[in-house]
Amino acid sequence: MTELAFEVLDVRPQTHAAAPHLLFRLRLTESSGAVVHAIALRCQLRIEPQRRPYDAQEQAGLTDLFGTAERYPTTLKPFLWTHASTLVQGFRTSTEFDLPVACTYDFDVSGTKYLHALRGGDVPLVLLFSGTVFTRGTSGFAVEQLSWSLEARCGLPVSAWGELMDLYFPGTGWIRLNRDTIAALARYRAAQGLVSWEQTVARLLPAEVAAS
Same domain, 99 and 182: no
Q: Give the pLDDT confidence of 169-188 residue by residue, as tens digits.
A: 887 766 777 888 888 888 88
3-state DSSP assignment of residue 138: coil
Same domain, 122 and 206: no
> In angstroms, rounded to a whole number, what is the distance separating the alpha carbons of residues 5 and 82?
21
Structurally, the chain folds into a number of domains equal to 2
Nearest by Cα to 22 from 30, 37, 11, 7: 11
Q: Give the pLDDT confidence of 26-72 residue by residue, as tens digits.
A: 999 999 888 999 999 999 999 999 999 999 999 999 999 999 999 99
Query: 199 is in which domain, residue-wise?
Result: 177-212
Contact (CB, 8 A) for 79 and 46: yes
Contact (CB, 8 A) for 109 and 83: no
Per-residue confidence band for 209, with pLDDT thresholds at 50, 70 and 90:
low
Same domain, 64 and 38: yes
Same domain, 61 and 119: yes
Nearest by Cα to 41 from 127, 155, 153: 127
